[in-house]
Amino acid sequence: MDTNHTKVYSVRDNLNINLNTMHKETAKKLFSKVHDLFKQGESKSSIARKLRIRKPTIIKWLKKESYQDNRGWPEGKYRIHTDEEEERILEIRDRIVDKELKYYWGSEIVRKEYQRLYPNDPLPSLWFIEEVIRKHNRQIPEPKKRRKDISRYLHYPYNLIKGLGKVQESFDFIGRKYIDGVTEPLHFLARYYPRPIGLYLVDRTNNEKREEIERISSQDWLKFTPPDVALLDNANSMYGPAKEKHFIGLFIQYLFKYCVIPVFTPPRSPWANGGIEGSNSIFGRKFWNSQRFENTEQIDRELNRFNQENIERANLDYLSQRSQQSRFRQEIYFVRFAKINSPQDKYPSIEVLNDKVYLPETYTNQYTFAKLDVREEQLTVYVERETKAQAIKEQKFPLKFTRSRLTKQILIPDFPYKSIPQSIAILD
């Protein structure tokens, strides 16, 4: 037997209106709709069902000629901010984008410039600056950020990597670029310190070989302290010999001389080093694709301005958080995805220095974190469980060393670090 059911709207229905939380523009539209329907002869109960609004709200609104909220201050005015602050923010934002043609113009940059120009006045909140930019249609669309839910589900060792040191730096060659009339490609090396430092630098290089990474990084590290951790991809210039097993390459030995721990991210997984990949995307949009270059001198000159803006917006004071070098151990870390690579394999495996390491079957299709103790020649494989490391395998791992031409001890500046002025030119 068919039965007609009437939906009962309760205060728990998430479609029922709440005057304290509903967005102002949405409430205004509903207010006008209620009056229109009532003039057309609809009953109050019918309007409540049709618009899914509680009947007491309908009765309350029909007694008023215009929409009013409970803000406690005049509509169209800010509660604590002034029109003068709004004008200042717009002037700063327009000057940065349209006149000075800066590469970065977000709310944090506007707020920092506001503080510089008006040091004795109250500093507007980031929310207010963003609200003013939205209100006057000054937004510039940015790509949506990717979510990390899937990688966390697969136990990607975010916390174990973070625990290696507070100051971390990523390296990456951006990719070959070309200018009109020149057949030879141009190469660029990017370096990125994740937040809270947020420093991103790009230099033009002669090629994409190890020597160029060492040249650029050694110049950087003479001007500020080296990081605790270097986040690297698996390119031969960083990883070492392409096919030889168990070889410690020259770049790894170079990092050890600076007491820097190398961490190799999963192969063919750019998202795993998302900070520098995202910054490289900004470089492509705001630097390379937004202008036309005619020669390398023009590129280098503009690169210096691009880097200087990045330096000014970075939190360089956080570099003082670097761990003590006296606790440094020669260890290499590998983030690897355990999987069964062929029908002949019964167990999942990971790749470490061009050799397979087999793991128990239960760890198939999840991320692992392998630690190679160079002095002890011992490999330990971990998985991350509730932010903690759980060892799942240990084995001996004999090593060979590529002969290094760096025979002299590298002299590192005597830190503790002193705060670097925001105006320092890190690039020559």
pLDDT at 418 over 50: no
pLDDT, mean of residues 100-120: 79
The pLDDT value recorded for residue 151 is 57
- Name the phi and psi angles at 368, rounded to 5: -125, 165
Q: Across all residues in the chain, what is the average pLDDT?
A: 80
The structure's pTM equals: 0.65
Please report the pLDDT score of residue 181 as a whole number. 82
The pLDDT confidence band at residue 406, using thresholds 50, 70 and 90, is very low
Least confident of 58-62, 63-67, 258-262: 63-67
Percent of residues, the chain, with pLDDT higher than 90: 33
Q: What is the pLDDT of residue 175?
A: 82
Q: How far is CA 59 from CA 32, 42, 67, 121, 267, in A?
A: 13, 13, 13, 46, 64
**The predicted structure's pLDDT at residue 93:** 84
**pLDDT of 143-194, one tens digit each?**
555 555 555 667 899 899 999 988 999 999 998 899 888 889 999 999 998 8
Q: What is the pLDDT of residue 15?
A: 43
227 pLDDT higher than 80: yes
pLDDT value at position 188? 94
Report whether pLDDT(421) > 70: no
Distance CA 39, CA 43 (A): 10
- How much is the average pLDDT of 343-347? 87
Pairing label, strands 229-232, 187-193: unpaired
Alpha-carbon torsion, ordered 15, 19, 23, 25, to 10 deg: 100
Tell me if the domain spanning 147-428 has CATH number 3.30.420.10: yes
pLDDT band at 76 (very low <50, low <70, confident <90, very high): low
| Omega before 56 within 30 of 0, i.e. cis | no
Is the pLDDT confidence value at 89 over 70?
yes
Residue spans of the domains in the chain: they are 1-73, 83-135, 147-428
Half-sphere exposure of 307 (CA within 13 A, CB side): 21
The answer to whether the beta carbons of residues 167 and 322 sit under 8 Å apart is yes
pLDDT digits (tens, 9 = 90+) for 1-19: 444 444 443 333 434 555 5
| pLDDT tens, residue by residue, 115-125 | 888 988 888 88
> How large is the average pLDDT for residues 309-327?
76
Residue 51 pLDDT more than 80? yes
Does 133 have pLDDT greater than 60? yes
